[in-house]
Structure 1
Amino acid sequence: MFKPTVGPIIGHTTTNHARIFLRGELQNNAPVFAGIRYRRPGEERWSHGVFAKLTIVRDMSDVIALNDLATDTEYEYQAGWFSPMSPVHTVETIQELPLQWPRDIYRFRTQSSKATIPRAYIVGSCRYLRMTAGIPSAPHLGDRIFASITNLAQQAEPPISAMLMTGDQIYVDDLNLFAPDREYKEILSKYRTAFSQPNIAKLMSSVPTYMILDDHEIEDNWPVNESKSDAYLYKNAIAAYELYQASHSPAHELLSSGQINRKLEHYWYQFTEGDIEWFITDSRTRRNLSANDRRILDKEQEQALCKWLIHSPARVKFVVTSVMFYPDRKAHGDDAWRAFPEQRLRLLEIIRTHGIKNVIFVSGDVHGSLTSRLSHSEDPHFEVHTIVSSPLCNSKLLPYAKASTFILDKALARTTTGDYNHELTSKVVSEDNFAHIVVTEGEIHVTYRDRNGKPLQSATIALR
């Protein structure tokens, strides 16, 4: 067996289930299979291999589901791919072959079933990795921050439950003015290169990683900049996104058979860990730009989000939106929630009128990091916070955000029942960084760290 050409990537992980993405390589017309075997550390015997047949339709990649795992348990696993001598082999018959597994051993941990224990997460976005003619330019610059995240994950207490990558994991349009990528094979190559750099590969092989797209997975400021010829680009970009980012997420339903439903209804999804829940929105591909019904989230998604906000018993509710919920930017704000004020106000009124506590909006996009608090002039019980983390690696062509980037001197929204006012609760970080979020019984502690893992600043959000 050979090492995966991309992966393994640990995706959605629960108390007894884990999804692992990996890619092999095309072998002329011969069949190709990928496999995973696992055990608890200290055990001599490995599990039976769990296999999948790889096809060119999925770029020789697949997601293997591990089921019936033990709760709050560390596992070690091996992953690889091979092409058997006989062309008639199936997923069932290759189980009997005496395989030589790759030596690399990876580790992951299932969730704890305890509801109220402290939990920790990493949040980041906007990882720029320039490629020219299919070749990455100085790829170590876009990869080095992941070594620092891995180092933190190896010693953090509480342990890191997951990495949330909230948009712009790749830049399909990094050379948009000169040589934009539009072909499917070019975009796939960009994903393979971006996700197989050594540091990010090591991190994703052990820490469950949840992703959602933003505009650069397609084109800058999509769909405002969409042209008639972009249908071809969108088809190719979104097909690659589904393979490399959505495939290992909870957007795919787990069937009663233990297999993953290949049908994908939408890109937004939810996941739960103890008394903490996450709702990952798709704030990019379901926009409606018409004047009479402007929406950043489609009706179905808005209804699902509101239902979740009102009825979920979670103590802490994180809402991920790849573009900023607030504060608004002075320039270029029309690509974010600022351009959809009616829908934003509807969500805020839902939260306020239902007395929903501990709602945190998490985003990236702006190439600057901050925390902020939203209050209501006539309702002292209303409070919403935002955590923004961006970028993991900036381009020299793009500026970092700073405090003067944002509109901070007037209300976010004015209504007949009062004003929604906001304030920064941290300084604005204007360098490459990631957020380390720790949720305890009484507070959320946010620490922004630079590319070397050094703390830049911290903020505390009191839970109610």
Structure 2
Amino acid sequence: MPALVIGPMLRYVDTSSASVWVETGEPCTVAVVADGRRCESRTFTVHGHHYAVVDLTGLTEDVAAYAVELDGEQVWPLPDRPPSRIRLLPADGPRTMAFGSCRTSVPHDTPHVLTHGEDVLRTYGAHLMTAGDEEWPDLLLLLGDQVYADNPSPEMLEFIHQRRDTEPRNEIADYEEYAELYRRAWTDPEIRWLLSTVPTAMIFDDHDLRDDWNTSQSWREQMAATSWWRRRVISGLGAYWVYQHLGNLSPAERADDPLLRTLMQGGGADALDNFAEKADADPSSNRWSYSRDLGHTRLIVVDTRCARQLTPGDRRMLDAGEWEWLVEEVSKPAERLVIGSSIPFMLPEGVHYVQNWNEALCDGAWGRLVQRLSETFRQAVDLEHWAAFRRSFDDLARLLAGLGKPVVLLSGDVHYSYVAKARGSEVWQVVCSPIRNPLSPVLRWANVLTQFGVATVVGGLLARLARLPRPPFRWRVTHGPWFQNAVAKLTFPDGATWYESSSGQLKQIDTIRLT
């Protein structure tokens, strides 16, 4: 009998359809049974792993419970968990949206809780098992670093070392290891149940591939010179397409996806690997960004890693094709925009200016010697946010400020949470990071002193010395920083509620009205 390896994961959900993703131990027919309806799909296979996405369409009301069958044998729900349900998106849009980023998959024993804190996503899942409907989000948006390919847990390292003794010795190398990494990340009982019953949307950040991924052209050249990076990036992007991106798409979008059609026809690993290699070499060949109409809200999730233009002197966070797509998406009718960007758009202002300054030096503003040193500094301290791609920052700032409607940018990455507000414009930045990967006490204080203290004074001076123009608008951090592990919840239309984990219980740490 086939086994359920990962899932079921409830992914795309709208007002009349829902998609359920699974990984199985053998090729089989996967069926989702709900309210007397049976919808099914055959698995497709890549690198010896088997997957399916089952679409339930034409739904007119919420599904109180669904079951999963593999070749006619029921494998879900588990007997010791509440039933997995499907709540359709309300016609006027989401009531609440939960989000967060940066989650390491280490054990939940005392030593790891001391070093990594509580896994707030796990705690959130346990909380929803008994919570009332008013506390359930309509969507969970995971904004990067769902897995850490460059910093695996001790248990994952043991798996790696039992397989091979080759470079990279302490990092993920191939698709098989990525598959195991995802399995360990998503099969904890509380996590597994949460992902089976709350719709999820996702986007990658650097650690899904490797720290500093696509920071600069110099970084790409350094990685290309290694013996192992080509296999790693092909495996990482291929695994991302299967485990994360596929579920971001609507049933109609998947029906039109040429790669999925090829895989369903038996195309196998070569088709996936060729796609991933081309996506890395030529970002215009594929789009990882996506958008959804959510009633009163338009959700736009932007790829800020693979779609970069890294040309020295003309760096762009989004290349020309990606920027054109974004301009078109934000111009479509909507009462408000929610934009997911794995890396923050509005950093603390001082840090923003430091990154502006560093980019100018990397482009030769103070000569070749300083240029080389600045590139080393850029990579060493992660100067790679929107501020480090100044032309893209200015373009997006002007675009958003000119819309005349509320815009909320949701981000992660920086391992602390905060809220910032643009002056004279209804543009907000809300950052929630990490879900589980906290900074040490020393690094917390270092971040407060440098990013909210020294940088505020020094950043503006450095920007002026480099003769950089002022940004299109000013902004300020209105709340935070908070350094706790956290999951945030954006509530429409009035505000956002933040939570942290404390002794296995969720407690509210602040409520902010965004209108």
TM class, shorter-chain normalised? 0.7 to 0.9
Describe how 1:161-240 pairs up with structure 2 within 5 A. 161-174=138-151, 179-224=170-215, 225-226=219-220, 227-228=223-224, 229=226, 230-240=229-239
The Cα shift of 1:421 comes to 1.6
- Larger RCO: Structure 1 or Structure 2 (Cα < 8 Å, ≥ 6 residues apart)? 2
Q: C-alpha offsets along residues 150-198 of structure 1, whole Å, 9 cap, x if unaligned?
A: 2554325264111000000000000598512112211111011111121
> Where does residue 298 of structure 2 map in the other structure?
277
More strand per residue? 1
SS across alignment from 2:405: coil
The Cα shift of 1:458 comes to 2.4
Closer/same/farther in 2, CA of residues 103 and 14 from structure 1, 3 Å limit: closer
Closer/same/farther in 2, CA of residues 99 and 190 from structure 1, 3 Å limit: closer
Closer/same/farther in 2, CA of residues 255 and 204 from structure 1, 3 Å limit: closer
SS across alignment from 1:121: strand
Aligned counterpart in structure 2 of residue 350 of structure 1, from 399, 408, 420:
399
- Residues 254, 260 of structure 1: 8 Å contact kept: no
More helix per residue? 2
TM-score after normalising by structure 1: 0.81
Aligned pair count reads 420
Q: Does 1:77 align with 2:77?
A: no
Could you tell which deviates more after superposition, 228-237 or 417-426?
417-426
Identity of aligned residues (%): 22
Q: Distance in 2 between matches of 1:268 and 1:215?
A: 15
Aligned counterpart in structure 2 of residue 34 of structure 1, from 26, 30, 34:
30
Q: Does 1:334 align with 2:383?
A: yes
> Where does residue 366 of structure 1 map in the other structure?
414
Residue ranges of structure 2 left out of the alignment (5+ in a row): 153-166, 263-274, 276-285, 356-380
- Residues 150, 209 of structure 2: 8 Å contact kept: yes
Q: Does 1:391 align with 2:434?
A: yes
TM-score after normalising by structure 2: 0.74
Aligned counterpart in structure 2 of residue 110 of structure 1, from 82, 88, 101:
88
AA partner of residue 78 (structure 1): A
> Where does residue 38 of structure 2 map in the other structure?
48
Aligned counterpart in structure 2 of residue 445 of structure 1, from 478, 496, 507:
496
The Cα shift of 1:417 comes to 9.0
Describe how 1:136-155 pairs up with structure 2 within 5 A. 144-153=119-128, 154-155=131-132
Closer/same/farther in 2, CA of residues 139 and 308 from structure 1, 3 Å limit: same
Q: Distance in 2 between matches of 1:400 and 1:359?
A: 29
AA partner of residue 350 (structure 1): L
The Cα shift of 1:3 comes to 5.5
Q: Distance in 1 between matches of 2:247 and 2:254?
A: 14
Closer/same/farther in 2, CA of residues 143 and 427 from structure 1, 3 Å limit: closer
Residue ranges of structure 1 left out of the alignment (5+ in a row): 40-45, 83-97, 132-136
Q: C-alpha offsets along residues 9-38 of structure 1, whole Å, 9 cap, x if unaligned?
A: 011100011111111103xxxx52222111
Could you tell which deviates more after superposition, 250-259 or 398-407?
250-259
> Where does residue 372 of structure 2 map in the other structure?
none
Q: Distance in 1 between matches of 2:126 and 2:389?
A: 40
- Residues 121, 163 of structure 1: 8 Å contact kept: yes
The Cα shift of 1:393 comes to 0.6
SS across alignment from 1:179: coil
The Cα shift of 1:400 comes to 4.5
AA partner of residue 125 (structure 2): T
> Where does residue 296 of structure 1 map in the other structure?
317
Q: Does 1:425 align with 2:478?
A: yes
AA partner of residue 32 (structure 1): C
Closer/same/farther in 2, CA of residues 159 and 395 from structure 1, 3 Å limit: closer
The Cα shift of 1:448 comes to 3.3
Closer/same/farther in 2, CA of residues 267 and 100 from structure 1, 3 Å limit: closer
The Cα shift of 1:253 comes to 4.5
The Cα shift of 1:208 comes to 0.2
Q: CA RMSD in A?
A: 3.2
